[in-house]
Chains A and B, each alone.
Chain A
Amino acid sequence: MEKSGRKNTLLYVMIAIALVISCISFFASSHKQGGAQLKKGYSSPYYKDELKVKYSKSFEIEYYDSAKIIRVFTPDSARTLIYQYLLLPNGVNVPSGYGAYQIIRTPVKSVISLTSIYIGFLEKLDLLDKLIAVDNFQFINSEKVKELIKEKRITEVGETANLNIEKVISINPGLLLTYGNGNPTVDGHQKLIQNGVLVASSTSHLENAPLARAEWIKFVAAFFDKEKKANEIFDSVEYRYNKLKTLAGTAKNKPTVFTDAVFIGKWYEPGGASFAAQLLKDAGADYIWKDNNSTGSLKLNYEQVLDKAYNADFWINVHFWNKISDVVKEDPRNAKFKAYQTKNIYNNNAIMNEYGGNEYWESGVINIDIVLADLIKIFHPDLLPEHNFKYYKKLADE
């Protein structure tokens, strides 16, 4: 009797354990799979058009029946996931299992932009009416944005390093667009995110392919459900860029070119695999450091640049210089270069505001086809006789 009693107890205990385990696994699995499940491959009632990322390896957009997911990766070959956003149309329940995502309701109603790249994107997408704050008025070139500033419809919140967090929180934007270098702890918007501000970070400035950098317009458009418009804009930029690149490829001679100028005793030249180097290649120029395989910049001494670029045909992207006389005013030794003697010096500061904010870094990012046309006009003027410079200018001979 005693023996069977013990057996029964054991049985009960085992049953109880089995019950508990199955309960746990049931709740755990229901937590994982329950709620509104995201489905892929159906025609979504929310999204007629979809954005496909073609050039950039640093972000992707996925479409589901009632959600979009944007993922941002480090721009290096490791391609580590750094940010992920779950974009939901208004009224759709939050699916469970997306705790690690920032959840953003689309279309976003208002936006703060902390870098000029977004101003160009937003203007192209006709979204300036959503813009409620920028980092610093002095950086703004867009006439439309300046107008909005005058009408006091846009306010200032300070640059990333000096961000007025209290002001951002009190403005309570639908979204804050900023840039990151790929390290969430260093990029430091945790405080904003903790306080309920939705922050979207791009690494577009780290893209090395010119079209990949322009493609970040799709990243911005996704938050505003502007898929159709973004596709139209990007496709035409892509079409014109590739056409121009083919045209430049027909040039027989490739003039040699170097860039920048000495800065605090060092001369920073873009690496051979960088954004600037690829643009120069596409424009049919022979960049002096093209064989270098760095995507960053090369830190050189003046004499090293002199050694390599002494006889270069062209000299471009030169600080704040406007006139030939500025070249030697900053350093008389600059007169030694052949490009100075032939006065073949061009700068990308044709459109600047009174504070030195350069349009090249604003609309030039999306208008990369026009930037390329400017460069081709510099190196091969006969290929584009009709084109007028927009971002570039020849230094005035005075």
Chain B
Amino acid sequence: MKMAQLTPAGTIHPFPRSGLQVFVESQSGQRVLRCYQCGKCTAGCPSAYAMDLGPRRVMRAIQLGLKDEVLASSTIWLCLQCQTCSARCPAEIGIAEVMESLRLLAAAERSRPAERDVALFHRLFRDLIRRWGRIYELGLGALYNLRGRHPFANLGLLPHLLSRGKLPLLPQRTKGASQVRAIFARVRAAEREAPPPEAKEGTDASRQ
């Protein structure tokens, strides 16, 4: 195996592209190999302190094709999509988009999320939009507490929000709701027809 090859574009490919990297690049449109590990992403990331792998290490793990490590990390769930990393990356990689593509991969592979509550929150949010066409805050809070088996979470603010009329008791109704349900259904059908490329273990030597 050749260890390095100068491509016509002038970029060095030290490794064959891993299946993970192929998936991430096709879904996010970002060129992961451009990352040279400067660490600005992790330095500016507001939630990096709570992650097991910082964004910089996730970028390296993608280059190396370490799919299981990446999907098991808390990082992909603790990314707030604030885009600070993308804004500051000197290699101009949209790192936040990379993180989003990893969440899509986690969903496609049904991998066990390291941050169960974050994944649950997103799922309930989507379910409520599909049902009502708009978000229903009180319903979201109630479902989250029941399904997540933490019935007393976030209750401290409730009286303040209710007394100021900030939390409507009933969901907003919109005639758009049935169209939103149809959009969800058609998206699902389109994605069944043309699923994203599989992120296989190991590397894709044909790209060498």
To the question of whether A and B form a pair in one complex, the answer is: no
